[in-house]
Each structure stands twice: as structure tokens, then as C-alpha cells.
Amino acid sequence: MDRYAVIGNPVSHSRSPQIHAAFASATAQDMDYGRLLAPLDGFAQVVAEFRAGGGRGANVTVPFKEAAFSLSAILSERARAAGAVNTLRFDAEGLFGDNTDGAGLVADLRKNLQVALTGKRILLVGAGGAARGVLQPLVAERPALLVITNRSDQKARTLASVAGGPVIARRFEDIQGEAFNIVINATSASLAGEVPPLPTGLFLPGALAYDMMYARDDTPFMAWARAQRAARITDGLGMLVEQAAESFFIWRGICPDTAPVLAMLRAAS
């Protein structure tokens, strides 16, 4: 049986094993997918041991995506652009590193939520690993404007300066008076029960508020967006399933059907 795992710290909350078990069962793949908790200073060792023990590949989550990038002998273009790796495949030539977060977000927006991105005004809140992973795939959809805003303003400006296209950086207070079709929360603020200090009036009529975090109930950002009368509000569960499907394809060469798995997770939560 081929073995895969998600490596993170913490990792016990991860729903990836459930998702990949469903994909494997639907596509008749003989594989096992578990969770590996790595010490904060022990990511490379956990990868090496898993590989030596017969592992074929892994997903990488907080806080190891940059460490996975450094460890990869071969990088996909999108991993290189993101500077972060969330999918490792253990090839004979060495570790192949890819980043499926951006493809996962775009697939969730376009396919599951039926949201077109071309010509739209997008606000991306956050400049960490997740924001870096989704930036280029969002730009490739040709939005009219993509504003990055982040608590540490310099990180947003650095990201915008290398992004090209219609990407600019603004401080939280400087987006007062601007409005958007899509506002994406790519911060981890919801994990701490917080909402970034965004100005009011950000949502255009029909706008979508998207929190990359997922939870049984509204996240703090989703509750805030509801109070702001955003027309559509969603969490990041669809992104999680779509990025997993991309990883599954990288490992197994098969595109699993995501809709039943997303429906199963929604029903279970």
C-alpha cells in the first residue's frame, strides 16, 4: 500500500486524511494517508524518516511550507512563484515540491461558487504563505485590480512589487472608501478569534467574502462580513478539498471528483 501523510504542527485538526481516503476509495487507489506531527525544528527529519519508511509523498501545512520549499530538489513553477510548498512527491531524483493552494482557491471560486474573477476588484487580506500561494493564480485570472493589505505593511508591499499585473499594496487604513467584488481573508487572524482591522463599506453589491479558514460555525471574519452585509459569505473548506484534489493528481495522475467529498464534509460539520 502506498503511504502519504500531512505533516504539520499542529496537525491533529487536519481533515486531509478524510479527504484523501474518500478520493482513494472513489478512484480505487490502494493508498494510506495519515497525519505526522513534526517538532518545530524537526521537519526535515520527519520527511526523511517517512520517505525512508516507504512514504511516497506528503502534504505540508503550517508552519512548514517554507521549510518544504527549501528541502525540495525540484520545484514546480507555481511553488517557485509562491516561495512555499504544500505538496511533496518523493521521486527517485529527489523531492519534487509543488504548491496547489492557488489552484485550489481558484477552482473553489470558479467551479464550486461560480464566481468569475476576470475584470473584478479583489482585496487579498494577508501576506503570509497562503497569500503568496494564491497570488499568481489570482493574477492569471486577469482581475481589474488586486489590492493586498496586511498587518505588516512591508510584506504586502514586497509581494505586490514582485507580482506584476494590476496588483498594488495598501495599508488597512488606506483602503477606506474603496470597495471590492471579492474580499479574501488569507490571514490566520480567525484562528485567534480576531478580525483584521479592515474599514467598513468594503463590499460592492453582490460581493463575496471568503475566509480561507474553515470551521463548523461562522469564523470571526465571516461574522464580520455578515454584519457588513456582504451578499455572499463562505469559508475555505472548498479550497481545502480542491487543493487536495490537485495534490492527489500530482501523486496518482488521477483527478478525483471533488463535489461528493465537499458535500460529505459539509454534512459532517
8 sits near ligand NDP (criterion: CB under 6 A): no
Phi/psi for 71 (5° steps) reads: -80, -20
- Measured CA to CA, the distance from residue 242 to residue 256 in angstroms comes to 10
CA count, 13 A, side-chain hemisphere, 188: 7
51 sits near ligand NDP (criterion: CB under 6 A): no
24 sits near ligand NDP (criterion: CB under 6 A): no
7 sits near ligand NDP (criterion: CB under 6 A): no
- Annotated active-site residue in 65, 111, 120, 155: 65
- Measured CA to CA, the distance from residue 162 to residue 196 in angstroms comes to 24
211-230 burial, b at 16+ Cβ within 10 Å, e below that, comes to bbbbeeeebbbbebbeebeb
- Measured CA to CA, the distance from residue 122 to residue 9 in angstroms comes to 31
- Measured CA to CA, the distance from residue 59 to residue 33 in angstroms comes to 10
Question: Judged by CB, which is closer to ligand NDP: 143, or 238?
Answer: 238
Binder among 213, 222, 233, 245 for ligand NDP (CB under 6 A): 213
75 sits near ligand NDP (criterion: CB under 6 A): no
Site string for ligand NDP, 118-137 (x = CB under 6 A): --------xxxxxx------
**Piece of 5-13, 116-124, 148-156, 159-167 that binds ligand NDP (CB under 6 A):** 148-156
Question: Judged by CB, which is closer to ligand NDP: 144, or 162?
Answer: 162
**Residue 65 designated active-site:** yes
Total number of residues that touch ligand NDP (CB under 6 A): 28
**How many contiguous H segments (helices) and E segments (strands) does the chain have?**
10, 12
188 sits near ligand NDP (criterion: CB under 6 A): yes
74 sits near ligand NDP (criterion: CB under 6 A): no
247 sits near ligand NDP (criterion: CB under 6 A): no
- Measured CA to CA, the distance from residue 185 to residue 23 in angstroms comes to 27
199 sits near ligand NDP (criterion: CB under 6 A): no
113 sits near ligand NDP (criterion: CB under 6 A): no
Sequence-ordered list of residues with C-beta below 8 angstroms from that of 3, at least 6 positions apart, any chain: 31, 32, 33, 34, 50, 53, 54, 55, 56
Instruction: Please list the active-site residues.
Output: 65
Q: Which residues contact ligand NDP by CB under 6 A?
A: 62, 101, 104, 126-131, 150-152, 155, 186-189, 191-192, 194, 196, 212-214, 236, 239-240, 243
